[in-house]
Chains A and B, each alone.
Chain A
Amino acid sequence: MIDAKHLVKEYHLGGQTVRALNNVSVKIDAGELVAIRGPSGSGKSTLMAILGCLDYPDAGEYWLAGEDVAGLSKNRLAEIRNQRIGFVFQTFHLLPRMSALENVELPLHYAARHDARERALKALDIVGLSDRTHHEPNQLSGGQRQRVAIARAIVTDPAIILADEPTGALDSRTGEEILALFKTLNDQGRTIIVVTHDPAVARHCRREIYLMDGRVAEPESGRMGEWEMMQ
């Protein structure tokens, strides 16, 4: 499903070059529930942006479902983000002044689908928010907002869900609920990638990719042990 080889991404800031990704290769199969873990600044978000077709690598290859992403136009990338990928962010990134339902419908409007209302209601039902469809984001709790965001991510029925620190802004109990939701969605066959710095979150996933200074690395022994005990 996802096959990234030797990804390099550099940022240039005032004469200084930051190598956010330094020869990163990851391979993720359809139906996996994977954590991308690493300390802050290790390049997780950068990797996620590239895997999510929001950004280009400076070097390396990225094959998504057998297609070489490097050769695709901006419009085609937008279509891929719309149809094959669902994003969930730490701070939810819902649009203000739009109801939960309208937020969830939005990706379908960009796909020019005419059954938007119906499908959005179904997605909200899956995340357990059928009774909050007409609330605006500022009328919802953090956990509820993240559920709306997840509904928006799954509404186009994408193969992959990319979640960047999805529990980072939530208390631990709400976080657990969100992770449980991801598990359910994964059980239904969706590929889910959770980016986190938190080993406790990573523990909910079936596999972990550990990043350190822009490279894939072996996690420090202690945490590795914990994680292996989980398996």
Chain B
Amino acid sequence: MILWMILKVALKSLMANKLRSILAMLGIIIGVGAVIAMLAIGAGTQASVMGRISAMGTNLLVVRPGQRGTGGVMSGTQQNMTLDDATALLTQVRGIRAIAPVVSGNGQLKYFGKNARATVMGTSITYMPIRAFEIERGEMFTEQDVERMARVAVIGPVTAENLFGASDPIGQTMKVNGINFRVVGLIKSKGDQGYFNPDDQLIVPYTTAMKQLFGLDYLREIDIQAKEDADLTQLQADALAVLRKRHRLQPGTPDDVNIRNQADLLETANEVSKKFTVLLGAIAGISLLVGGIGIMNIMLVTVTERTREIGIRKAIGAKDRDILNQFLIEALVMSALGGLLGVGMGVGSAEILGRFTDFATIVKPYSIFLALGFSAAVGIFFGYYPATRAAKLDPIECLRYE
């Protein structure tokens, strides 16, 4: 029979029971909508994670102390990295452009009766280019400030806002853990990174931080910026070798430091997004299964209701295959229509989430085609059983059916 005719019959029978058809399609609508929205969140999250990773600076390697304790018992980080380690890396490992020793601690800030808390990073001037920080106003402290152990600081925009409000922080003197510091520069905003807000911190010379603020003689981390053409894997191995030698580790003993580069971070991010995708796939599968069962259920009802019609069609010459195709196409129309409505709902809710919540959402075209393809497949799969039932009905019994 002509396809157009079948489609017309299918649409008419859907329209004749609008509410029922919509209820039957609801599973598919919600399933597809949820999948599209969640894939959009996934894609958006991945894009923003990638953005954050590159916001951390390019060609970055971070050396951190290893975990203390053995046999899997973790009891804090070791205190084994020194300034000399940092200097040794810069002089002994090839391919390093810049290095920044980093110590950190909590700071209680005070300015004319106003209080604020912020992370205090003690580091060298190279920290700024390595970590891709820029100065918005004022300037970075200098090499001389580091040597002289000067009490100067550059301040993140959020911290500045918390402490100084609307007034200009540059040139002001504040107290950090009871010691006077002069603000020399304001850091340009990077935006909150979720686990850590780089806009809410204070950067001071590491010398000042170690001797005057925290009384530390070990480092929290050493940041390394590799040269553009450097082989990061090689550099990482070399750096590890230098530190192992300096820490007098025997061959065979585990490393006491931990070096991570951006490639690792990217891999971790991808790993996470892969797991996320598998999870989404499972949710999609379940919701489409439920949707498919809804369609199968309503198709079985439809076949029963239209038993007489099936008998009439067979009496005037419909073959089993014609009846099969008709009901299969009706199921397909229903699921495809449900899929389309679901895409509309998914794209709409992705849009709303992106606009009114913290989720970043990106609707990728492939996710739409994937969802539509799946819902069509579900229609055919779950429509097949009711359709074969219809096709196998005996014409004479159908005609007698009340």
Listed in ascending order, the chain A residues whose CB lies under 8 Å from chain B are 49, 52, 54-55, 74-75, 78-79, 81-83, 87, 89, 93-98, 106-107, 109-112, 152, 156
Contacts and interface: CB of A to CB of B under 8 A. Distances in A.
A220 B57 CA distance: 108
Nearest to B321: A75
Interface string B386-402: 00000000011001000
Given A55-B396, A95-B309, A95-B312, A78 B13 contact: no
A87 B315 contact: yes
A109 B8 CA distance: 13
B245 interface: no
Interface string B292-328: 0000000000000000110111111111111000000
Contacts of B12: 97-98
Interface residues of B, number: 24
Main SS at interface, chain B? helix
B267 to A, nearest CB: 59
A49 B396 contact: yes
B316 A152 contact: yes
Interface of B: 1-2, 5, 9, 12-13, 16, 308-309, 311-322, 395-396, 399
B396 A110 contact: no
Given A97-B16, A109-B1, A54 B317 contact: no
A54 B313 contact: no
B255 to A, nearest CB: 76
A109 B2 contact: yes
A97 B309 CA distance: 11
Contacts of A95: 309, 312-313
Contacts of B395: 54-55
Given A93-B399, A97-B12, A109-B2, A81 B322 contact: no
Contact of A110 (B9, B309, B311, B322): B322
A87 B2 CA distance: 22
B320 A106 contact: no
Given A54-B395, A93-B399, A109-B1, A83 B317 contact: yes
Given A54-B395, A89-B399, A93-B399, A112 B315 contact: no
B399 A78 contact: no
A9 to B, nearest CB: 11
A154 to B, nearest CB: 12
Contact of B313 (A52, A75, A106, A111): A106
A109 B312 contact: no
B1 A112 contact: yes
Contacts of A89: 399
Contacts of B319: 74-75, 78-79, 110
B317 A110 contact: yes
Contact of A54 (B309, B315, B322): B315
Contacts of B13: 97
B320 A74 contact: yes
